[in-house]
């Protein structure tokens, strides 16, 4: 071996030895830092001997307590096999999801709400069926979205509102191609009952469904407090029969919608905004009404807290992708008797906030502007209008002689 190669080999071994010494020094320093106190004395590693979280205190308010229960059931950490024996799970919280689909009246509710017997009958009925989310369909349209619509118009209606539905079909809710985009329309209905003094309309509804193929009806009592149930059942139907619709307009059957303007607005959206789109006439900083005489009365024994931001239920617009996420998260939010507030609660659970858009006027426009055609060309949705007014407003939008310059 030459002298040069021998020197190189020795130098290599010296470098390896130096690196080894540096590693040992670094390790010993780190160990010393982790095991010594400020005064240089050795410090013992402390092992916790009791749980380092506090057990959740149950709310005294019924809806809030139901939300706590669902949060507990849906928490993957609290429901892991490791923690089952040590968490002290409350006995009244079943660790399964079957309770979500309990469709018989839950008589135990009357013992869980201190003023239950003094609540209005409509409220008692809602609370007894609050955990029920599964009702059979009386009328279905499984092929309503075969065209993979760009925009699905989902309109909340009542069985006797034949004239409102027909006015929508002949105007802004006309299914087919509008503004070069595929549009589909469905009307969402519950069932009429003798208890609500409705005649039997089932024969007429079956004929209407065969004629227009746009009715969706479920076998539940169609009341104001059950509008939330209508929302949940629609999202379930959407996830099975219309998951490819890009956008959804949800509205009442007494609104007027400028459908071409909505399509134009959607076409101009950047892709990153379209994914989480949810716009409407947004209400913020609202709280429950405590006056029993009001339509939106909520007793303090049922719910406490402030409402999240929510879009007025007269009409709002959101993406199809978000509709699927709302369907999934709605299983973990207890039904609430005000449907638009409930949708806001579901959005909050997803970490989203609805955007206010000036084109949505769920509280109408100023009276002095209501008979000006050009006003409606600049808006997306106005509430409320009669069937006759809907037809008239639609003719204004289509009239080429109306000059809005």
Report d(CA 225, CA 336) in Å as an integer: 8
Q: In the predicted model, is pLDDT for residue 196 greater than 70?
A: yes
Which pLDDT band holds residue 350 (cuts at 50, 70, 90)? very high
Taking the CB of residue 375, how many other CB atoms lie within 10 A of it? 18
Q: Which of 18-32, 141-155, 258-272, 354-368 shows the lowest per-residue confidence on average (mean pLDDT)? A: 18-32
Q: What is the pLDDT of residue 28?
A: 57
DSSP code per residue over 147-208: T--SEEEEEE--TT-HHHHHHHHTTTT--EEETTEEEEEEEEEEE--GGGT----HHHHHHH
Give the CATH number for residue 322: 3.90.550.50
Please check the confidence at residue 262 and state whether its pLDDT lies above 70. yes
In a domain, residue 288? The reply is yes
Q: Which of 90-104, 243-257, 347-361 is the least confident region?
A: 90-104
d(CA 125, CA 130) in angstroms, rounded, equals: 8
pLDDT band at 84 (very low <50, low <70, confident <90, very high): very low
- 259 preceded by cis ω (within 30°)? no
Element of type H or E holding 15: helix 3-35
Q: Give domain status of residue 251, yes or no.
A: yes
Which of 36-50, 55-69, 159-173, 181-195 is the most confident on average?
Answer: 159-173
- Report which of residues 15 and 135 the model is more confident about: 135
pLDDT of residue 39: 54
* Helix pair 320-330, 227-241: axis angle to 10 deg: 120
**How many domains in the chain?**
1
User: Is 71 within a domain?
Assistant: no
In a domain, 371, yes or no: yes
Q: Does 78 map to a domain? A: no
**Residue ranges making up the domain that contains 195:** 137-398
pLDDT confidence bin for 373, thresholds 50/70/90: very high
Q: Are 310 and 283 in contact (CB under 8 A)?
A: yes
Q: Would you say 220 and 226 are in contact if contact means Cβ atoms under 8 Å apart?
A: yes
pLDDT at position 85: 36
Q: Residue 278: inside a domain, yes or no?
A: yes
Say which residues have a Cβ less than 8 Å from residue 247's Cβ, sequence separation at least 6.
Answer: 150, 151, 152, 266, 274, 277, 317, 318, 319, 320
Residue 374 lies in a domain: yes
Region 75-87 average pLDDT: 51
Strands (E) located in 301-342: 310-319
Does some domain include residue 217?
yes
* Positive or negative torsion for Cα 243, 247, 250, 254: negative
């Amino acid at each position: 071996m030459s002298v040069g190669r021998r020197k190189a080999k020795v130098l290599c071994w010296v470098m390896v030895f130096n690196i080894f010494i540096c590693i040992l020094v670094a390790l010993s320093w780190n160990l010393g830092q982790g095991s010594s106190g400020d005064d240089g004395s050795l410090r013992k590693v402390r092992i916790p001997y009791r749980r380092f979280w506090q057990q959740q205190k149950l709310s005294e308010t019924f809806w809030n307590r139901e939300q706590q229960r669902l949060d507990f059931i849906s928490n993957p950490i609290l429901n892991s096999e490791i923690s089952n024996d040590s968490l002290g799970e409350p006995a009244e919280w079943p660790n399964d999801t079957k309770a979500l689909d309990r469709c018989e009246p839950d008589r135990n509710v009357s013992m869980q709400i201190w003023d239950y017997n003094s609540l209005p009958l409509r409220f008692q009925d809602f609370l007894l069926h609050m955990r029920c989310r599964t009702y059979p369909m009386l009328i279905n349209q499984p092929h309503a979205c075969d065209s993979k619509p760009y925009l699905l118009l989902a309109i909340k209606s009542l069985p006797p509102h034949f004239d409102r539905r027909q006015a929508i079909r002949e105007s802004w809710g006309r299914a087919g191609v509008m503004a070069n985009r595929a549009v589909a329309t469905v009307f969402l209905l519950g069932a009429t009952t003798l208890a609500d003094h409705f005649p039997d309309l089932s024969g007429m509804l079956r004929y209407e469904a065969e004629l227009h193929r746009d009715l969706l009806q479920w076998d539940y009592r169609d009341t104001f407090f059950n509008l939330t149930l209508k929302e949940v059942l629609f999202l379930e139907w959407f996830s099975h029969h219309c998951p490819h619709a890009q956008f959804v307009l949800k509205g009442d059957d007494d609104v007027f919608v400028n459908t071409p303007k909505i399509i134009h607005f959607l076409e101009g959206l950047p892709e990153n905004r379209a994914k989480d789109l949810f716009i409407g006439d947004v209400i913020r900083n609202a709280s429950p009404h405590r006056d029993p005489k009001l339509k939106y009365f909520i007793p303090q024994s049922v719910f406490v807290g402030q409402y999240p931001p929510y879009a007025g239920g007269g009409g709002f617009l959101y993406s199809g992708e978000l509709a699927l996420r709302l369907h999934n998260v709605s299983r973990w939010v207890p039904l609430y008797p005000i449907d638009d507030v409930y949708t806001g609660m579901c959005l909050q659970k997803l970490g989203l906030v609805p955007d206010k858009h000036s084109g949505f006027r769920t509280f109408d426009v100023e009276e002095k502007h209501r008979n000006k055609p050009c006003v409606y060309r600049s808006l997306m949705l106005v509430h409320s209008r009669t069937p006759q007014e809907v037809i008239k407003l639609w003719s204004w939008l289509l009239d080429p002689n109306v000059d809005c310059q």
